[in-house]
Structure 1
């Protein structure tokens, strides 16, 4: 820079030096501004005065610069002055607000509520049919099962019914050929012929004796022969009846007859097969009723009584089936200290198949509760049972004290409900169905508290 006639001229070197000095002054001013801002936002909020140690100010300045570096690396302007990311972590549902976790509350947009299919219900008074849940197993009604056996040995001539067929009492299931049966039939015919001859001889001797043509001795002998022939005939008929029952036929043919209405659940016969007299050829079960054998533990025995209503569910069943407790054992099992009970189901859905494990809810009490909510509304968060209560545009995970559980009505057709003893008032809106979605959302990392890298 030169002075010519009182004027200043900047040389190239002078202009460069002046620019460097100006940039240094601007940088110092920015640094001072950042330091004051960090003291106001950081230390000032916690009661520190303006005479903080130099090393604290230096650390705050470094942290500020680091935040700016992070924002630069992100490549967009969604971070605040400290480099924090308010966009939320990856995977957060669209529509959640930046402060959705503030104060333990979730703020969701109407679109998110609709997409999540959250069911909003109103808490209020209601009935709770308190039930006792017990394990059980579906079984055949033992009083409606019939075992069909041939009673006499024989070979299967014809099989008329198959496994799974529905039959009526008196239907012919199969026809057997039996030598033993043919022999019994022959003996009956012979006994009948002897009886006929004895009766004719007696009538003749009786007439001669009355006319005093024959001696009384011959008359008495003829009467004795008739009596013996009748006994023999009666014995042969009983043997045949015991062997064949209603299935006896001519020529040794023997029909197996259905003794009850029902369904064939077992079949052990094929054409030509030789069967013994004790072979269990068919098993017929009346499936219009089934039993559910229930295990009642000692601690619950005082709550269960014969006549109580019960609802039975099993894997694959469309809906709970209503029945009643028809039996309660008086002797405990020595192994698990439990008693056996029985629930009878009438006209159940075919899905209630014997052999399935079942869950039995026995109705033990009916109460009127001041505040009742859907059972689906109860979630467990941080070891506490909570209900997500609507407060304006937010949902609060409110801890509650749970009372009795049961069905919404004594008929057991209503939804499962829970009595709320504390924490929720009648008239408040809460989330029923799909409340677990809010629990999952609450468990995500809080928005606005992590650096984006």
Structure 2
């Protein structure tokens, strides 16, 4: 067969990947295939052609060697051998680097559960590997500190109830006293005053004011009578002066009582208001302390009606939903404030932590797509974070990809490989990398012609 015929056959040549034949690869290799050309004697790369010495017509040995290399297989044999036949054509060659990576927990969705109070564990409800929802009971702890806080809260609530009752009483007294004082300013008769003040609940000050007012009215009437008698010459000057003195004395007593009651009722009402405010603040502070110890509003409201046996009961609940990935709590154990007893992780997403070698840091950027391989699983992801610090231990830079994990297929701690595309180019002739085989000391591809399947030496342009 002459060279021209071979060239005419090239567009219809079929590359065959034969099983069991290996080939060397560089650490940076292509995604789709390799650009191929023929193997020239001078070692330079030219177009993708067959080796000009591989069975050229007129060569005494070429034809025999050609016949020896030809393999004839039926379609059934090819199928059983797993051989795939594809036409040789142009395409795109993508180069990439393969990097190691480890699946890890999404640290933004991990929560370490620590008790808010020290105490003795009395009941462990949730165990390693269990799934929990937010609010689920994890464990019960008996805590004297919580018991003391609850007792202080109950005392504050009781003190507030007393203060509120006293405030209500003083408000009633204040309102009634103000009404009585307004009535006295109208200077009614003693009988009218007694009638109108009958329903005013004031306490001791009511009797004090009414008595002083009655004495004043009596002294006033007596003084007026003595003046009239004196004017008519029916009384002595001494009797008039005595009546005047009695009137002045009772008037002073009445005004003093009036002013004292007016001042006192206002003062006592203000004191009752302050006491109620202090009591309310004490309840608020006691409630805030309970919240600091981990109790919810509902739990605080239930303290007043809960049994005494539960006064020191502390319920450790799940703050988020997820899976229990660590557990450090057992019945009878004493727990403290500085030790996490559970770790809850939301596994809906996981982090893929990629170790990027220093020489590849310029090839990977945030927002770049990568391909993740783990066994027979292949997924695409996007780099969302690249560390600015090189690890002192591994001398690598950490890059991160967030992967969805709804079906829990990704297991934290699992090792995978990540392929990062670094460049791409077009080539006139491209074959899959698996189609390039090492045969009799040369790199070849196997092609199918009318005569059968034969190896054709090639020179790799770009791998």
TM-score range, shorter chain: 0.5 to 0.7
How far apart are the structure 2 equivalents of 1:334 and 1:277? 33
Q: Tell me which of 214, 218, 228 is aligned to 2:278.
A: 228
Give me the CA root mean square deviation: 3.0
**1:217 equivalent in alignment to 2:275:** no
8 Å contact kept, 2:94–2:421:
yes
Residues matched between the structures, number: 304
Displacement of 1:222: 1.9
Checking the alignment, whether the CA contact within 8 Å between 1:151 and 1:278 is kept in structure 2 is no
* Runs of at least 5 residues in structure 2 that lack an aligned partner in the other structure: 1-61, 179-260
Counterpart residue number, 1:204: 169
CA distance in 2, matches of 1:129, 1:344: 24
Moved more, 124-133 or 265-274: 124-133
Whether 2:198 is the aligned partner of 1:148: answer: no
1:344 aligns with 2:402: yes
* SS of corresponding position for 1:277: coil
SS in 2 for 1:283: strand
Residues in 2 aligned to 1:177 and 1:354: alpha-carbon distance in whole angstroms: 34
Q: 1:243 aligns with which of 280, 293, 297?
A: 293
Q: 2:23: which partner in 1?
A: none
Shift in alpha-carbon separation, 1:291–1:234, aligned structure 2, 3 A: same
For structure 1, which segment, 190-199 or 395-404, has the greater mean C-alpha deviation from structure 2 after superposition? 395-404
Q: Structure 2 matches for 1:104-123, cutoff 5 A?
A: 106-110=69-73, 113=78, 116-123=81-88
Q: Please state whether the residue corresponding to 2:115 is helix, strand or coil.
A: coil
Tell me the equivalent position of 1:169.
Answer: 134
Instruction: Give the TM-score of the pair, scaled to structure 2.
Output: 0.59
Deviation at 1:364, TM superposition (A): 4.4
Where has structure 1 moved over 6 Å in runs of 4 or more?
none
Report Cα offsets for 1:234-255 as digits up to 9, x if no partner.
1111111111233957412222
The CA deviation string for residues 292-342 of structure 1, in whole angstroms up to 9 with x for no partner, is: 11122343333322222222223xx43112221111223444566543211
Q: Kindly state the Cα deviation for residue 263 of structure 1 after the two structures are TM-superposed.
A: 1.1
Q: For 1:54-105, what per-residue CA distance to the aligned partner results, in whole angstroms no more than 9, with x for missing partners? A: xxxxxxxxxxxxxxxxxxxxxxxxxxxxxxxxxxxxxxxxxxxxx9993597
Tell me the SS of whatever aligns to 2:111: strand
Structure 1 residues 130-174: Cα deviation after superposition (integer angstroms, max 9, x where no partner): 433222221110001111122112233322222112222222222
Contact preservation (8 Å) 1:293, 1:340? yes
SS in 1 for 2:294: helix
Question: What does 1:22-421 align with in structure 2 at a 5 Å threshold?
Answer: 102=65, 106-110=69-73, 113=78, 116-128=81-93, 130-210=95-175, 211-212=177-178, 213=261, 214-246=264-296, 250=306, 251=310, 252-314=312-374, 317-333=375-391, 338-347=396-405, 350-365=408-423, 367-380=425-438, 385-391=443-449, 392-403=451-462
Q: Is the 8 A contact 1:104 1:397 kept in 2?
A: no
Taking a change above 3 Å as real, the CA distance of residues 388 and 109 of structure 1, as seen in their structure-2 partners, is closer
Q: 2:135, 2:319 within 8 Å by CA — same for their partners in 1?
A: yes
CA distance in 1 between counterparts of 2:461 and 2:126 reads 57
Counterpart residue number, 1:445: none
Q: Alpha-carbon deviations, 1:382-412, whole Å to 9, x = none?
A: 77643333343232142231425xxxxxxxx
For the pair shown, the structure with the greater C-alpha radius of gyration is: 2
Moved more, 167-176 or 361-370: 361-370
Matched position secondary structure for 2:371: strand
1-side partners of 2:394 and 2:342: how far apart? 36
2:328·2:340 contact (CA, 8 Å) conserved in 1? yes
Which residue does 2:224 correspond to in 1? none
Q: CA deviation at 1:265?
A: 0.9
Residues 348 and 241 of structure 1, relative CA distance in 2, 3 Å threshold: closer
Q: Distance in 1 between the 2:169 and 2:122 partners?
A: 47
Q: Structure 1 pair 318/394, CA: closer, same or farther in 2 (3 Å)?
A: closer
CA contact (8 A) 1:298 1:338 kept: yes
Closer, same or farther: CA 101–388 of 1 in aligned 2, 3 Å: farther
Which of structures 1 and 2 has the larger relative contact order (alpha carbons within 8 angstroms, sep 6+)? Answer: 2
* Greater helix proportion: 2
**1:373 Cα shift?**
2.4
Paired with 2:154 and 2:325, the residues of 1 have a C-alpha distance of 38
